[in-house]
A and B are shown apart, each in its own frame.
Chain A
Amino acid sequence: MSEDGNMLLSVKNIEVVYNHVILVLKGVSLEVPEGGIVALLGANGAGKSTTLKSISNLLRAERGDVTKGTIEYMGEQVDSLTPNALVSKGVIQVMEGRHCFEHLTVEENLLTGSYTRKDGRAAVQRDLDMVYSYFPRLVDRQTSLAGYVSGGEQQMVAIGRALMAKPKLILLDEPSMGLAPQLVEEIFEIVHRLNKDEGVSFLLAEQNTSVALRYASYGYILENGRIVMDGDADKLASNEDVKEFYLGMAAGERKSFRDVKHYRRRKRWLA
């Protein structure tokens, strides 16, 4: 991506080590422009979640450490901030697997998102109404315990809770996990509207490459802790290798994985 300094977030060459020994990210660089939706793609264990957590600084609670590189948000280095300081600056992560507060009601869950805000009750109430307008399903669920609502509704609670912090950038980790295709579509549609109408930027970690590339403007592909390819979303979606390895298609038709040539993958990524 271009180096025009207009970036909301820029991650430069970070290395992450867990437990002082396990090297998970081996020099990852990426950028999120103001008002963009950027997708971070890759298989299980590629390092997507780790990348997001190193940006939101949740890594330290998991005994991980950024050992090299820098992370800049709005031109300011943020590697050493606490997660709550970062949230009040406008960067919030929606974690993989939703992580709702199960014994709190849906509304209480949403309100926890406003913990760092200092702009008064009226503003919080306004945003609560805004969240309900984006997720009308949650209105009926207001007083149910979050542990008992469906998976899709939990994902909505998790995103809504993040919105309550009035973020500029949401790090959205695997929103499609465990959801029916129709719901995935619904969630992404809302992400799209939030981006357009509220101006929230998104960095989106996804395994569901086809959906992610349809909604994102730019994409990075992560393999074994390295970025192996990046480009505009439509270019990535039409790239032959991406088609073959991530979209399960080759030469315009669906392909069985038995026929995928493994040596090609090797040659391409490790060259």
Chain B
Amino acid sequence: MEVLNAIFVLPFVDMFSEPIFFAEVVVGGLLTGVMYSLVALGFVLIFKASGVFNFAQGAMVLFAALTLVGLMEKGVPVWLALIIAAGVMVIVAVIIEKLVLRPLVNQPDIILFMATIGITFFLEGFGETVWGSDIHRLDVGIPDAPFEIGGMLLNEFDIWAAAIGAAMVGGLALFFRYTVIGRALRAVADDHQAALSVGIPLKTIWIVVWSVAGFVGLVAGIMWGTKSGVQFSLSLIALKALPVLILGGFTSIPGAIVGGLIIGVGEKVAEIYWGPLIGGAIENWFAYMLALVFLLFRPQGLFGEKIIERV
């Protein structure tokens, strides 16, 4: 009885007795969630357009951030460094298309997946060879001061991250729905061969989509790099994006966002209100547990593409 009470009643009593603190936890969670979403977005883009689960997305985040911070440390102004880093991601996309995707066209998914693991190792190693493996401090000039709204203590940087994330998602959604290239991307995602047969060049589409994923990686890298420094562990946040994808659906851009938010909030709330019951550290595994539950009951995720089956 006491155990049940501690699990099902007391946490909620706590939430209601201190609503401002609860709101602070939720908002903090939402803002972290946006950061997860940014990483997940890169996965969704590539998965949508080429049906490949791109294991290298985390490495792309690291590589983009390393390039940016490396250039800045060499005295390149921020705006120029941003442009060069974005350009480098386009070059990476072109090289990946040429050396990895094209020779493996029409191979089973698992082979492409393995190839992206190879890309991961290459990008991590290459990035650290060029720019060194120290922890770099990154500051692109986004203000980072705490401030108070209605009794809640918030961080200005988090608000910026959320705004940038929202703008990116909106932009990408419009791009996919209303442009010729966007429509071609969705067509390729649906059926490679048919896309080829109507004259959509896979080569161009893949370069576009990997470049966009590279830009998204760059933005994610800036956000995470500013928070925790640019270092090797950046490439591991890809692992945090996995449950976000399972929750939101691998093929849905809004899904990546909502999934990120749910996981961000969920793990913060769970940590603070239920953590003490079992000695804490729920934050580290909560997301994966949630993903497991989703895999059991709704494998396509909240917003994933319906698996169309005609009979």
Contacts and interface: CB of A to CB of B under 8 A. Distances in A.
Interface of A: 56, 58, 61-63, 82-84, 86-88, 92-95, 99-104, 108-109, 111-113, 115-116, 145, 147-148, 161-162, 165
A101 B106 contact: no
Interface in B91-121: 105-106
Contacts, number: 83
Interface in B176-197: 180, 183-184, 186-187, 189-197
A95 B190 contact: no
B197 A83 contact: yes
A148 B180 CA distance: 23
B199 A83 contact: yes
Nearest to B105: A61
B201 interface: yes
Given A103-B186, A112-B200, A148 B308 contact: yes
Contacts of A62: 106
Instruction: Give 7 nearest A-B pairs by CB, closest first.
Output: A87-B199, A99-B194, A147-B308, A116-B199, A101-B190, A84-B199, A84-B201
Given A104-B190, A108-B183, A112-B187, A83 B196 contact: yes
B149 interface: no
B305 A103 contact: yes
B310 interface: yes
Nearest to A116: B199
B184 A58 contact: no
Contacts of B106: 61-63
B130 interface: no
Interface in B197-226: 197-201
A61 B180 CA distance: 23
A100 B310 CA distance: 13
Contact of A92 (B180, B199, B201): B199
A115 B184 contact: yes
Nearest to A62: B106
Nearest to A113: B198
B201 A145 contact: no
A84 B200 contact: yes
Contacts of A56: 197
A96 to B, nearest CB: 10
Nearest to B198: A113
A99 B308 CA distance: 13
Among B187, B198, B200, max chain A CB count under 10 A is at: B198
Among B184, B186, B189, B197, max chain A CB count under 10 A is at: B197
A25 B305 CA distance: 39
B200 A93 contact: no
Given A101-B187, A103-B186, A112-B200, A95 B105 contact: no
A100 B194 CA distance: 7
Contact of B198 (A145, A147, A162): A162
Contacts of B190: 101-104
Contacts of A87: 198-199
Contacts of A161: 198
Contacts of A84: 196, 199-201
Among A88, A95, A115, A165, max chain B CB count under 10 A is at: A115
A112 B184 contact: yes
A145 B308 contact: yes
Among A62, A83, A116, A145, max chain B CB count under 10 A is at: A83
24 contacts: A61-B106, A63-B106, A83-B197, A84-B199, A92-B199, A95-B193, A99-B194, A100-B191, A101-B186, A101-B187, A101-B191, A101-B194, A102-B190, A103-B189, A103-B305, A104-B186, A108-B186, A111-B183, A112-B187, A113-B198, A115-B200, A147-B308, A162-B198, A165-B198
B45 to A, nearest CB: 15
A78 to B, nearest CB: 14
B183 A95 contact: no
Given A112-B184, A145-B308, A148-B308, A61 B201 contact: no
A87 B195 CA distance: 11
A86 B190 CA distance: 22
A99 B201 contact: no
Nearest to A109: B187
Contacts of A116: 199
Nearest to B181: A115
A94 B189 CA distance: 18
Among B106, B184, B190, B192, max chain A CB count under 10 A is at: B190
Nearest to A101: B190
B197 A92 contact: yes
A165 B105 contact: no
Contacts of B196: 58, 61, 83-84
A247 B198 CA distance: 33
A87 B186 CA distance: 19
